[in-house]
Structure 1
Amino acid sequence: MVLVIFLSGCVQRTKSGKPYGWVYDNLAVPTQHLLMWLSQQLGNNLGWAIILITFIVRLILMPLMINQSRKSTIQQEKMASIQPYMTDIQKRSKEAKTQEEQMEANQEMMALYKDNNISMTGGIGCLPLLIQMPIFAALYAAIRYSPELSSSYFFGINLGNRSFALTALTFIIYAVQGYMSLIGLEPQQKKQMQSMLIISPIMTAGITYISPAGLGLYFFVGGIFACLQTLIILFMRPRIKKQIAADLKDNPIKAPAKKPRPVVEQETVQKEKQQQEMHNKNRQRNAGKQQHHK
């Protein structure tokens, strides 16, 4: 949503309403010419032209995105193997009474990740998204600021206006993709990722709703490719699990070493405990004397 707002501000208009600016001149105008040329080859249908561009872009990015998803899946499987240690550390972190104990638990968690070669981000990369940003910007500005494109229709949908139908379809396709991504995960991992199952489709549908339908068509077709990509990873997951299991036999999980409290700190805690017990006994004695005098 921030990106859409930013792109809206990048393209400025003259008093007569003519758009201008770096994004419009260098991204939108070439994209407009490309879309118009493709539409002429496809029976003057700009909807099919947008779908074709989406197909080409996602097909080019498919190997990169599958490789990224594979890395993310490997990290997920490694996370499942250290889950018992994580649960223990998280429990001690919640029960920590001092800042030192909290920091100690955090350090153990970081050491657990580092010693077992697990990424803190879960292997998620942003390169495929960054590559799509210029395409996103070009399509957004081309469709929004082109009279020819904004007045075009695709199966009764005005590509220049928002579309409730495409918003609903985009939400459904990304919800299906999110559900597919949970198949084969451990119950604990499913619980951790359930929030994303809801947030991701809502965010994508929200961007589709406030954008021209031509851009929504790009998102919807991209969602179909995302489902295909997730399906490929589902077929790869059993082999990945076998690979991780074999690696764990050769390199067992390295549990974080718990740092014992210093002797001085233990003696201090013991003295404070004894002083507190003496204080409580004195209070009980004083209370008994007062009742006796009464």
Structure 2
Amino acid sequence: MKISKKVPALGSLAGLALLLSGCVQTKNGKPYGFVYDYLAVPGQHVMDWFANIFGGSYGWAIIALTVIVRMVLLPIMVKQMRGATVQQEKISMVRPQMTALQKQQKAAKTPEEQQAASQAMMALYRNNGISMTGGIGCLPLLIQMPIFAALYAAIRYSPELSSSIFMNIPLGKSSWILAILSFASYLLQGYLSMLGMPDDQKKQMRMTLLLSPVMILFFTMSSPAGLGLYFFVGGLFACIQTLIINFYRPRIRKEIQAKMKENPAPVVEPVVTKPAEPEPKAVAAKQTSVKNRNRNAGKQQHHR
């Protein structure tokens, strides 16, 4: 089991947002439809309100919106990251037994042995309270998805937003500078998340943690710079969340070790279930049938 199952979540978020933004229809050059009416238009109003506060700067308006969204999600994100950290520490502690069961799965020669090893692995997860999903949830991403789609549609269909310039960067056009900054922020977050992580899991996580920044890079390079700004600030907040978890990781590790010492889980061994033996009556009937066939064969040879 790998904690890296969270990687496709960012791709799902981006795909859903693009799907929603693509549902905006136009008639005589004017956008309309559910996504435009209920996401883009309210998003434009929110951006206009924030921009008025910051002297007409839509760049600072996007930053303010990102900060507010991330502050609201911060407790949820920290809780989920803590849950994922707990799972990582538990896996690290049962790694020797898990490795032994994996070797037995590879060495299994019969379907019964493979099934027994798989059941033993599931029992190992269950007895130690290890989740198959690694403690990762999609709630923060689901909450961000409408905001992300609204921002995308607002930048695309709002003349004020699409023509706005922030730090000499047109927010309505793609920006390789913000794409690289977004990539760097999420790459830093991935590096920070490996600090204090057990060595046996770092090797598994390195490639996975690189995929998310690369995906962000390609997405922001083909999107308006306003979204790149949103991702960049969001990446900085992700780094802060990771630092918070790293600060509590030693305490989490001690708590898990204490609980496992007080209530040690039983050692799980594969139990191979042998095929059911045939009933005596069935064996006798089979033997009788064989004898009759042999007797008939002997008679035929005798007549010849």
Per the normalisation by structure 2, the TM-score is 0.83
2:162 counterpart (150, 174, 177)? 150
How far apart, in 1, do the equivalents of 2:113 and 2:156 lie?
55
Please state whether the residue corresponding to 1:122 is helix, strand or coil: coil
TM-superposed CA distance for 1:117, in Å, is 1.2
TM-superposed CA distance for 1:187, in Å, is 1.3
TM-superposed CA distance for 1:261, in Å, is 5.2
Structure 2 stretches lacking a partner, 5+ long: 1-13, 278-304
1:40 aligns with 2:56: no
Provide the residue aligned with 1:68 in structure 2.
80
How far apart, in 1, do the equivalents of 2:62 and 2:115 lie?
52
Q: Which has the higher contact order (CA 8 A, sep 6+)?
A: 2
Provide the residue aligned with 1:94 in structure 2.
106
Please state whether the residue corresponding to 2:62 is helix, strand or coil: helix
**Which shifted more, 62-71 or 226-235?**
62-71
How far apart, in 2, do the equivalents of 1:52 and 1:78 lie?
38
1:242 aligns with 2:263: no
**1:161-216 deviation per Cα after TM superposition (whole angstroms, max 9, x unaligned):** 11101111111110010000001111111111112221111112222122111011
**1:243-279 deviation per Cα after TM superposition (whole angstroms, max 9, x unaligned):** 01110110113321321453979xxxxxxxxxxxxxx
Please state whether the residue corresponding to 1:124 is helix, strand or coil: coil
1:222 aligns with 2:216: no
1:177 aligns with 2:186: no
Runs of 4+ aligned residues of structure 1 deviating over 2 Å after TM superposition are 1-5, 94-104, 260-265
Aligned ranges for residues 54-133 of structure 1 at < 5 Å? 54-133=66-145
The answer to whether the Cα contact below 8 Å between 1:35 and 1:46 also exists between their aligned partners in 2 is: yes
**1:67-126 deviation per Cα after TM superposition (whole angstroms, max 9, x unaligned):** 111111111111111101111111122233333332222211111101111101111111
How far apart, in 1, do the equivalents of 2:169 and 2:145 lie?
25
How many pairs does the alignment contain?
Answer: 264
1:253 aligns with 2:265: yes
TM-superposed CA distance for 1:63, in Å, is 0.9
> Measured at CA, do residues 264 and 60 of structure 1 come closer, stay the same or move farther in structure 2, by a change above 3 Å?
closer
TM-superposed CA distance for 1:23, in Å, is 1.0
How far apart, in 1, do the equivalents of 2:76 and 2:21 lie?
29
Identity, % of aligned positions: 58
* Coordinate RMSD, CA, aligned: 1.6
1:13 aligns with 2:43: no
